[in-house]
Amino acid sequence: MDFDHGRPIYLQIIDYIKKQIITRNLKIGDKVPSQRELAQQLKVNPNTVQRAYREMENMQLAETIRGQGTFIVKRGELLKELQGEMAGTLLKNFILEMQSLGYDDQEILGLVEKYQQDLKEEIK
Amino acid sequence: MIELKGVTKTFGSTIALDNVSINIPEGKIIGILGPNGSGKSTLLKMLVGLNKPNHGNIFINGQQIGVQTKSFISYLPEIDYLYPWMTIQQAADFVKSFYEDWDENKYKELVEFLELQPSMVIKKVSKGMRAKAKLLLSFSRNAKLILLDEPLSGIDILTRDKIIETIIRDYRAGDQSILITTHEVREVEGILDEVIFIRRGQIALEGNVEELRYQRQASLVEIMKEVYTHETI
């Protein structure tokens, strides 16, 4: 994994775990790698991984069970929440960029529909 | 853990460190960054008593530099300090005889991980291999404080990766402290907790790396460029 060194690495580690959940590589209740394993795998400072894990516990994304390791919390709606969060970020950026290109709300909606159609036809 | 109070070090008319006061916390990986000649190595040498300050005091765990502090510090100098005629095993036995915290199991594991052979003669191996041998000897001790002076300089990229991996692999988080001097900032972006930028013998900037990234929306490399703009060293 390549980090953007202009952003705190612990935040990027949290995003990485979230993506693993969204892409179903990690499921609800799954054990996440130990801090040491992940530090070695991502080639980052173990203290940074520790901070990411502590933050994930505060966000109620993961929980640590003493002597067993850290697990993705068993919460049915977690996947939906994360999908919603990531979609929100994408949409917000998309709308801001479109506005900066000079499109108004109606035009943006129109273009989205048009491109949805185009994509469907491409797939056919 | 390390405390410098008004430390000044001069060599003739050159000022290497200029009235430096700093507190370096325990349990972290700390980068001492700066261009050549900024005073980085002098700082490390003073922590092991190889240079003495002209003014000011240095304390490690509240103690002055001496036999006691040396017993828990593992120092990797920039120069080739190993006897060239020794094999890696002989060099290891030599270091082992000085320090009680030598960990034979760790040594054996690291020999394998770093792809070294105990029978290799130091003068007959490449520069990259010698760099790995130095690292092997520094990390085979369970030292509380490890000082690495330019461990990456002049070394090929694959060996650099291996050195970074070794540091991550063997670092005892929270319990051990590592000070690294380097001008290869890009290589250490991911492994530093704290950073100290030295400029003309003074501290130009210090802080937690993640906080600095957050505040300045910039990488260490970019921050370093900012700190040393208009520099004429």
pLDDT of res. B230 = 63
Q: How much of chain A exceeds pLDDT 70, in percent? A: 100
For testing contact with chain A, the best of B210, B214, B216, B217 (most A CBs within 10 A)? B210
The pTM for the full model equals 0.85
DSSP letter assigned to residue A33: P
Domain boundaries, chain A: 9-72, 78-123
pLDDT of residue B233: 45
Task: Enter the tokens of residue A38.
Answer: 């992940």
On average, the pLDDT of chain B sits at 91
- Number of Cβ within 10 Å of residue B180's Cβ equals 25
Reported ipTM: 0.82
Residue B156: the pLDDT is 85
pLDDT tens-place string over residues A93-124: 999 999 999 999 999 999 999 999 999 988 87
Q: Could you give the angle at the alpha carbon of B102 between the alpha carbons of B99 and B106, nearest 5°?
A: 165
Rg for chain A (alpha carbons), in Å?
19
Question: Residue B87's pLDDT band (boundaries 50, 70, 90)?
Answer: very high
* Average pLDDT, integer, range A68-91: 91
Q: CATH fold of A9-72, please?
A: Arc Repressor Mutant, subunit A (1.10.10)
CB contact under 8 A, A8 and B213: yes
CATH topology of domain B25-52+62-227: Rossmann fold (3.40.50)
Chains A & B: contacts with CB separation below 8 Å = 63
Q: What per-residue confidence (pLDDT) applies to B231?
A: 58
At residue A46 the predicted structure's pLDDT band, cuts being 50, 70 and 90, is very high
Searching chain B, which residue's CA lies closest to the CA of residue A41?
B165
β partners of residue B196: B32, B206
- What distances in angstroms separate CA B157 from CA B35, B100, B198, one per listed residue? 20, 34, 25
Q: What is the spatial distance between Cα B27 and Cα B30, in angstroms, rounded to a whole number?
A: 9
Query: Of the candidates B93, B87, B78, B77, which has an alpha carbon nearest to the alpha carbon of residue B123?
Result: B87
Per-residue pLDDT for B166 more than 70? yes
Beta-carbon separation of B193 and A45 below 8 A: yes
What percentage of chain A carries pLDDT values higher than 90?
82
B68 — pLDDT class (breaks 50, 70, 90): very high
pLDDT in tens, B175-202: 899 999 998 888 899 999 999 999 888 9
Show residues of chain B in contact with A6, CB under 8 Å.
Answer: 213, 217-219, 222
At A30 the pLDDT is 92
Contact residues for A12 (Cβ-Cβ < 8 A; gap 6+): A3, A4
Q: Which residues of B touch A4 (CB under 8 A)?
A: 219
